[in-house]
Structure 1
Amino acid sequence: MAATTTPKHREFQNINHASLFAPCKVSDSSCLEQTVNAALPRILTGIPELGVDSADPLFNDIIEENLPKLKLILFNSTVTGFKDCRLSNITFNEDMTSVRCNAYCPSFHLHGQYDISGQLILLPIQGNGDFTFHTGLFLVTVDTQLEKIKGNDGKTHFVIKKFKVDSVPTKPIIYEFTNLFNGKKEQGSITSPCKRNDLKCFENGLKTIVLQVVRGIPDFGIESSDPQFLENIEGVLSGLNYTLYNSTISGYAKCKFINLKFREDFRHVYSEVNCPHLSISGDYEISGQLISIPVEEKGHFNAESEYNLTSEYNTEIIKSSDTKSNLHVKDFKVKPELLSIKIHFGNLSNGQKDLADTVHKLSQEKWQEITELLENAVWNASFQKMVNNVNKFLEYFTLDVTP
């Protein structure tokens, strides 16, 4: 910042030395952190006598974001929370032309008006009205390029040439939009809160969640469940042990809901889906007695099947504020109904054709019985992975718990 000899700048010099910054050596990071953090709230709240506007609260006439599939405009928005940030690890390079620091910001609050249209993740979205954003702790890294200039006072000063900010939220951000989809609640059931007594809204929302989770949402850290990779599945039965390695399940995206029910308090969810084309392949190792034949095998396997899957979920509601809560799946159980299957085990009987043919014949004749013996460990591992992903997704959406 270049200095002049006007009364205002002489006043700045008095403020600077008297109350804002204590002198520090560039190499003294502890002193730098202490003096900058002491001065930051004063600077961010504004210094009218120097013509420095407030940055907390910070008012923006318009913020526009144009993405390939989404257009978002925020009007007359106000941000608060900057003055609570604390800087650390302030380091300069040797010639003092760049400075890097970390910032820990406990929370931000942003409110104003919005206009949105396009596609958010996988959801078509549109609307305009009021909005609020609430965040938890943000971890921020700032890289700043400085330029040295000669001021009117004959001294060297610094100005900011350019900067780069990287930020990572440590907790889900709560987004609240009024009038999404122009008030058509059935279209926006998952991007706007559902009232406790609106089971249809919640049903539509859960179906949308499941579809998104199955496809995967990289922005939420959710991997695809179609295909779904399971590294290791172990099954222990009476007289039979087996392990499936590096298994891949495909076909969940083609499953269709047959039935979906909720208790009014959302503590229990019941679901029935039909999956017409499920396939699984991988490597296996099995030992013990399969029906009536002793087996000690390992190799590659694959199966093509159709299932009706009935599942039940016990949920809990975790409060995130006085009036907002998140739904969380606590536990589940799944009951598969096998409708048809074709299954093949490679290298049965270590390649001994006669014995292998006997086991294959048994697997075709007793397919339902064999599958029922082996399937529970597969479904439990697969559904646990999907439930974990659903819970990740649910962290980003709130229930309105007001009456």
Structure 2
Amino acid sequence: MCPREEKALARCLRDALNTYIPHLVTGLPEWNIPPCEPLFVPSLSVQHSAGPITVTSTFTDVTVTGPSHMRVLDVKVNPRKHEVVAKLSIPELKLHGNYQLQGQLLMLPIEGEGKFSAKYGDIAALITIVLGRQHRPNDVDALKCQSLSVKFHVGTASMQLENLFGGDGELGKVMNNFLNENWQTLAEELQAPIEQALRDFFKPLADHAFATLNADDILSP
């Protein structure tokens, strides 16, 4: 149970989240929370043009590991706005899956298809939760997570694509080097689907955590 006073409530929620997050890899069956890692992204696409290289790529069956190592740094509660905002640090996210790529490198057609791996490091994330009321017959209203959004900033990123240019080692090395030298653009292109995956990670936790509380204990009238 957390106190109602805003600063104490924020600290209590921060500590509770840091306690529960590591357990989300295997899930919490006693609270009907399924395993939440690895995350799964069905597909995403990237279109990039810079200098001599123009690339269109599609990534499918992407798994994401690493969210369970995050830490909640700060939580702010605004009962009047019915809002909770949390700042988090994620040391690393690892992505694995399949890719298809085509484009041009110095007028030379490039293509590839196979496995890929990527890493995001030093991630700062901001989670915004809008709270609402869930009516309970013959009882006070429960609190509910009405909506949850995630935004994050990446400190470092890298990617490795296998089987570029039909397995040509030198040309493949050039292309992988280009992608890693331009990782900021790559991270921006992949940001939206990764934010959605992180939302899917946090939503079950938020749904359960807030459903155990009475709305009148948190929300202002």
Q: TM-score, normalised by structure 1?
A: 0.44
Kindly report which structure 2 residues correspond to 1:1-400, keeping only aligned pairs within 5 A, or say none. Answer: 188-189=1-2, 194-195=3-4, 197-201=5-9, 203-205=11-13, 207-209=15-17, 211-215=19-23, 216-225=27-36, 227-230=37-40, 232-235=42-45, 240=56, 242-250=58-66, 252-265=67-80, 267-287=82-102, 296-304=111-119, 305-321=121-137, 324-395=140-211, 397-399=212-214
For these two proteins, the number of residue pairs brought into alignment is 207
1:198 deviates by 4.7
The superposition leaves residues 181-214 of structure 1 with CA deviations (integer Å, 9 ceiling, x where unpaired) of: xxxxxxx43xxxx54x455235413541464255
For residue 33 of structure 2, give the secondary structure of its aligned residue in structure 1: coil
Q: In 1, are the aligned partners of 2:157 and 2:180 still within 8 Å (CA)?
A: no
Paired position in structure 1 for 2:52: none
Structure 1 residue 247: deviation in Å? 1.0
| Distance change in 2, residues 1:335/1:398 (3 Å) | closer
Displacement of 1:366 in angstroms is 0.9
1:360 to partner: Cα distance: 0.9
Higher relative CO (CA 8 A, sep ≥ 6), structure 1 or 2? 2
Which has the higher Rg, Structure 1 or Structure 2? Answer: 1
How far off its partner does 1:333 sit? 3.0
Match of 2:51 in 1: none
Gaps of 5+ in 1: 1-187
Whole-Å Cα distance in 2 between the matches of residues 293 and 270 of structure 1?
48
Distance, in Å, in 2 between the alignment partners of 1:356 and 1:229 is 28
RMSD (Å) for aligned C-alpha atoms: 3.3
Identity of aligned residues (%): 15
Normalising by structure 2, we get a TM-score of: 0.75
Is the Cα–Cα contact under 8 Å of residues 349 and 356 in structure 1 kept in the other structure? yes
Residue 219 of structure 1 and its aligned partner are, at CA, apart by 1.7
SS of 2:141 mapped into structure 1: strand
Please, which runs of 5 or more residues in structure 2 have no aligned partner? 49-54
SS in 2 for 1:204: helix
Task: Label 1:307 to 1:358 Cα distance change in 2 as closer, same or farther (>3 A).
Answer: same
- Change in Cα spacing, 1:322 to 1:209, as seen in structure 2 (3 Å) is farther
For 1:394 and 1:319, the matched residues in 2 are separated by 13
**Letter paired with 2:142:** N
Specify whether residues 244 and 295 from structure 1 end up closer, same or farther in structure 2 by C-alpha distance, changes over 3 A only: farther
Mapped partners of 1:321, 1:256: distance in 2: 37
Q: Is the 8 A contact 1:316 1:330 kept in 2?
A: yes
Residue type of the alignment partner of 1:233: S
Aligned equivalents of 2:38, 2:145: Cα separation in 1: 20
How many angstroms apart in 2 are the aligned matches of 1:371 and 1:243?
Answer: 13
Equivalent AA in structure 2 for residue 311 of structure 1 = I
1:97 maps to: none
Q: Is the 8 A contact 1:248 1:282 kept in 2?
A: no
